[in-house]
């Protein structure tokens, strides 16, 4: 989905605020949320792809104004409710009020569903162009590279395709590659000089130019 989480290249966020001597966790809520997510991702409650998509489905304004672990908390509560393991009423009774949940999944069909062939389609040095896909579900193809031309720098082997794994149990594996994009290809004349961005992309995000 073209969500607010897909931040690469956006303007207007200001400077990066660095906290000196930042602790690993700041408070009890961060401890609890990190611990709960760690516990439940090892079980059948969720996988990392469905979990990421549950974060992406947060109300955009809530996403931007809430701290990081609130994203995790919202996604976890959403998935537990969607899997029928808890009800919103049960959480709200204990929390003493409303608990924000992410928006529903908008699609149960996935655009890219084919496992790739055993042999990778592209080799190191291959010129590729990123397909102009805009799925309503989960994807790990950032918007800022869609339609852009790059060159493969690594072939990393086959991995579960997130676009499928976030929505279905079927095992769909595809080759993933690292692709180098010249900054000028991505950002035109406004690019910082002498820079390139390297992005890891699954095979069906790519095509030959």
Residues 31-60 that bind another protein (CB under 8 A): 31-36, 38-40, 43, 45, 52, 55
User: Pick from 124, 191, 192: which is nearest to 153 by CA?
Assistant: 124
Beta strands 149-160; 127-130: pairing state: antiparallel
Residues 146-185 that bind another protein (CB under 8 A): 154, 156, 159, 176, 178
User: Pick from 139, 72, 77: which is nearest to 112 by CA?
Assistant: 139
CB of 119 to another protein, least distance (A): 19
CB of 112 to another protein, least distance (A): 14
Stretches 93-101, 107-115, 119-127, 164-172: which one binds another protein (CB under 8 A)?
A: 93-101
CB of 209 to another protein, least distance (A): 20
Q: Closer to another protein at the Cβ: 17 or 169?
A: 17
Per-residue contact flags (x/-) with another protein for residues 185 to 204, judged by CB under 8 A: -xx----xxxxxxxxxxx--
Q: What angle do CA 193, 197, 198 make, to 5 degrees?
A: 150
Residue with tokens 């792809």: 49
Calpha distance 132→111 (Å, rounded): 12
Calpha distance 122→119 (Å, rounded): 9
Is residue 121 close enough to count as binding another protein by CB under 8 A?
A: no
């Amino acid at each position: 989905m073209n969500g607010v989480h897909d931040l690469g290249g956006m303007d207007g966020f200001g400077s990066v605020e660095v906290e000196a001597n930042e602790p690993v966790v700041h408070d009890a809520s961060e401890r609890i949320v990190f611990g709960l997510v760690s516990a439940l991702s090892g079980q059948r409650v969720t996988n990392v792809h469905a979990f990421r998509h549950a974060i992406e489905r947060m109300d955009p304004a809530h996403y931007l104004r809430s701290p990081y672990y609130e994203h995790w908390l919202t996604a976890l509560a959403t998935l537990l409710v969607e899997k029928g393991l808890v009800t919103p009423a049960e959480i709200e009774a204990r929390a003493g009020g409303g608990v924000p949940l992410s928006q529903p999944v908008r699609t149960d069909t996935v655009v890219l569903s084919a496992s790739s062939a055993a042999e990778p389609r592209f080799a190191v040095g291959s010129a590729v162009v990123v397909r102009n896909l805009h799925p309503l579900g989960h994807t790990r193809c950032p918007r800022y590279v869609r339609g852009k031309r790059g060159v493969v720098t690594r072939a990393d082997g086959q991995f579960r395709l997130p676009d499928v794994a976030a929505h279905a149990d079927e095992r769909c594996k595809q080759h993933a590659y690292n692709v180098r994009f010249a900054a000028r290809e991505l950002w035109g004349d406004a690019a910082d000089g002498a820079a390139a961005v390297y992005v890891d992309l699954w095979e069906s995000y790519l095509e030959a130019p």
